[in-house]
Structure 1
Amino acid sequence: MNLPIYLRYFILCIFLLTAWSCEDIDPEDQEQAAVVTGQDSAFCGSCGGWFIEVNNVQYRADVPAQFACPATRVWIQYELDESDGSKKGGKWIKIQSIRRRMG
């Protein structure tokens, strides 16, 4: 069974596009349970963000106002914020998405 050359290239292109569209899921991109534990008052009178605990690790982050309350249980997606030295050393994260966690 001989396929025409254009059909072979078409099948090859479909295969390559399918393989290219598959990507590894980074565990840090998955939604994780977290708790906003309190405000960080170490910098300039409470402008240091908020403490957020994820998997027993405490991070700092800028938390949207509706979640900025101690003991707020949330689901978050985040990435480490290493934009400058003080944030890198202080375990800052950038919250990509956040929502309340019920229960």
Structure 2
Amino acid sequence: MSYFTANLTTEEDEVREEMRRQHAKFGPQNHPDGTGLPGSVMEADEARARCKANGPEQDNWRDILDEEVREAFAETDPDALLVELLQVEAVARQWRLAIRRRLAAAEQDGEVSR
């Protein structure tokens, strides 16, 4: 099992557990999407431009996730929104995996990482 696969399984388990906690606390959640509000497209364009302006040294998870979230917020088509939300979830999981890699490397190097 690769590092990615092993940690993805952990991620999936943690996501399922968080969803269980939310369901226990709030019950079924059937809220309106709340997307496509005035200004949302402009905000998505601004977030996209910020990401594109970053060079490799300036790339960061916050800007990447912000771009994906704002693209989802701007979407009005349900099928396209599903795609955007999948991208949000994938970026958030990749971010979590990157943190885990940093923590594992720090632990391996004997650094206190928490």
TM-score scaled by structure 1? 0.23
> Normalising by the residue count of structure 2, what TM-score does the alignment of the two structures yield?
0.21
Task: Pick the structure with more strand per residue.
Answer: 1
Greater share of helix: 2
Query: Which has the greater radius of gyration?
Result: 1
